[in-house]
Amino acid sequence: MFVDRRNSGAEKFDRKRAPGNCQHEDPLYLWLADLDVPPPSCVHKAVAEFLASDAFGYVETDIGAAVSHWYAKRGTLAPSFTPVPLCSVIAGVHTAISIFSKPADSIMVFTPTYGPLIDAIRIAGRIPLYVPLQAGRPTIESLYPSASMLLVCHPNNPDGSQFSEETQRQIARFCQQHDITVVSDEAHADFTFGESPVMPWAALDADAISLASPVKGFNLAAIPAASYALIANQTKREMFADAVKKRHLSASAVSRVALNAAYQQGGDWFTDVQHCLHKNRVLSEQLASKLPGKITWSTGTAGFFMWLNLAAGLSVNDTHARLDRAGVVLSPGESFGAPGWFRMNLASHPEVLKEAFSRLLKSF
């Protein structure tokens, strides 16, 4: 199912854009968070039909039915309220911060986590409060009652950790008691490999904001497929939707067409991809177990990443240099608030993963 995308124009394989200073003649690009898998044919067909139509003026394409269908299929609570279409999840993060917090407010964020979330806090003139995860889990005692917002990536990017529903409910109760708005980036919620699916935060807390998209689950970043916000509280939902409209941040018509096709017709494709990713996760865990014992790693229960601490006993600079010489291009932990750690994308051909771990074994 995996394909060679090296000559496709994909950003992942652009040496100039890749992190580090890799000069290897045959680099293995395992950094950017997309899949080396062609998107489902139903999306090709739906987008082509839309482009062949005359619907190039202002059109309104509903995504509510498709979103409800997908959440029900995924085994989570199907939202009974209208999703707010967005051009991207991160656009939703910036919007939520701007209207549900004030300048100089403190915003909690778990670490390590996706760097653009922390960037959004700083860009808005808010103060980040870092809450370190312990074995992929937060503790209630580590939360700040003085914060105005909790910004969470769930499941967590980069380590794939997923909170139990009970943990989510405990955090939700804490935030409700202290009037803290939860904003949850759920871009990686589709690919889960544990016993339970990822529960959207908006289904557990009426004041929370869940932000999601088929971009990761269906490999549609280049369109990109529509993102959306789920907000049970009607007043908050209307405030958010109004802010999105005024900022011209809504999803385009073609992006909504892609979402509808993926969520309503792409289920079999998704199941096949998830099966392949499961096999890659098992393979990668077997290969990682052969690395020196000082190197720790985790795949969590969601997503398609491995999170590795390669700097154990080494300087961060030496670790980067070894990776560059080995020709293994990973996402550096600095962008997640964890220098010395690296995120490996496991959504590539198994032979690529085997070669990558072989090079790591020789280099570390």
Residues 16 and 111 in one domain: no
Please check whether residue 105 lies inside any domain of the structure. yes
**Residue 6: pLDDT band with limits 50, 70, 90:** confident
Residues 155 and 86 in one domain: yes
The confidence score (pLDDT) of residue 78 equals 72
Residues 114 and 176 in one domain: yes
Whole-model pTM: value is 0.96
121 Cβ contact partners less than 8 Å away, ≥ 6 residues apart: 97, 107, 109, 127, 128, 151
Identify the weakest region by mean pLDDT among 1-15, 243-257, 325-339.
Answer: 1-15
The confidence score (pLDDT) of residue 133 equals 93
Average pLDDT of 335-357? 97
Residues 208 and 325 in one domain: no
Examine the pLDDT at 8 and tell me if it is beyond 90: no
Take residue 228 and report the two structure tokens written for it. 């959306």
**pLDDT tens by residue, 299-337:** 999 999 999 999 988 999 999 999 999 999 999 999 999
Which CATH number covers residue 306?
3.90.1150.10
Residues 96 and 212 in one domain: yes
When divided into structural domains, the chain yields a total of 2
Q: How far apart are CA 77 and CA 159, in angstroms?
A: 25
Which among 236, 265, 294 is the end of a domain?
265
**Residue 77: pLDDT band with limits 50, 70, 90:** confident
**pLDDT tens by residue, 163-180:** 999 999 999 999 999 999
The helix/strand count (H/E) of the chain reads as: 10, 13
Residues 140 and 252 in one domain: yes
Which CATH number covers residue 214?
3.40.640.10
- 10 Å Cβ neighbour count for 21? 11
Determine phi and psi for 114, rounding to 5 degrees: -60, 120
3-state secondary structure 295-358: CEEECCCECCEEEEECCCCCCHHHHHHHHHHHCEECEEHHHHCCCCEEEEECCCCHHHHHHHHH
Cβ proximity of 100 and 123 under 8 Å? no
Average pLDDT of 2-17? 89
Residues 236 and 327 in one domain: no
More confident residue, 253 or 134: 253
Please check whether residue 6 lies inside any domain of the structure. no
The confidence score (pLDDT) of residue 80 equals 83
Residues 22 and 71 in one domain: no
Which among 221, 239, 265 is the end of a domain?
265
C-alpha distances (whole Å) from 128 to each of 38, 39, 85, 97, 201 are 38, 36, 27, 12, 21
**Residue 7: pLDDT band with limits 50, 70, 90:** confident
More confident residue, 117 or 9: 117
Please check whether residue 5 lies inside any domain of the structure. no
User: Is 178 buried (19+), middle (13-18) or exposed (0-12) by CB count in 10 A?
Assistant: middle
Please check whether residue 330 lies inside any domain of the structure. yes
Residues 120 and 192 in one domain: yes
Pick from 138, 126, 128, 92: nearest CA to 108 = 128
Report which secondary-structure segment, H or E, holds 229: strand 227-230
Average pLDDT of 34-45? 96
Which among 265, 284, 318 is the end of a domain?
265
The confidence score (pLDDT) of residue 136 equals 87
The confidence score (pLDDT) of residue 183 equals 98
User: How high does pLDDT run on average in the chain?
Assistant: 95
**pLDDT tens by residue, 112-170:** 999 999 999 999 999 999 999 988 889 999 999 999 999 999 999 999 999 999 999 99
Please check whether residue 1 lies inside any domain of the structure. no
Determine phi and psi for 213, rounding to 5 degrees: -175, 155
Residues 102 and 165 in one domain: yes
Q: How far apart are CA 300 and CA 253, in angstroms?
A: 35
The confidence score (pLDDT) of residue 199 equals 94
**Residue 265: pLDDT band with limits 50, 70, 90:** very high
Instruction: Give me the domain span that covers residue 293.
Output: 11-39+268-363
Examine the pLDDT at 18 and tell me if it is beyond 80: yes
**Residue 283: pLDDT band with limits 50, 70, 90:** very high
Please check whether residue 21 lies inside any domain of the structure. yes
Q: How far apart are CA 186 and CA 343, in angstroms?
A: 18
**Residue 9: pLDDT band with limits 50, 70, 90:** confident
Residues 79 and 211 in one domain: yes
Residues 211 and 272 in one domain: no
Q: Quick check: helix, strand or coil at residue 212? A: strand
Please check whether residue 257 lies inside any domain of the structure. yes
Please check whether residue 3 lies inside any domain of the structure. no
Take residue 168 and report the two structure tokens written for it. 């989510």
C-alpha distances (whole Å) from 278 to each of 150, 208, 300, 346 are 31, 31, 12, 10
Q: Of all residues in the chain, what percent carry a pLDDT higher than 70?
A: 100
Cβ proximity of 194 and 281 under 8 Å? no
Q: Quick check: helix, strand or coil at residue 71? A: helix
Query: Could you tell me how far CA 114 lies from the centroid of its own chain?
Result: 8
The confidence score (pLDDT) of residue 299 equals 97
Determine phi and psi for 274, rounding to 5 degrees: -60, -40
The confidence score (pLDDT) of residue 215 equals 98
**pLDDT tens by residue, 199-248:** 999 999 999 999 999 999 999 999 999 999 999 999 999 999 999 999 99
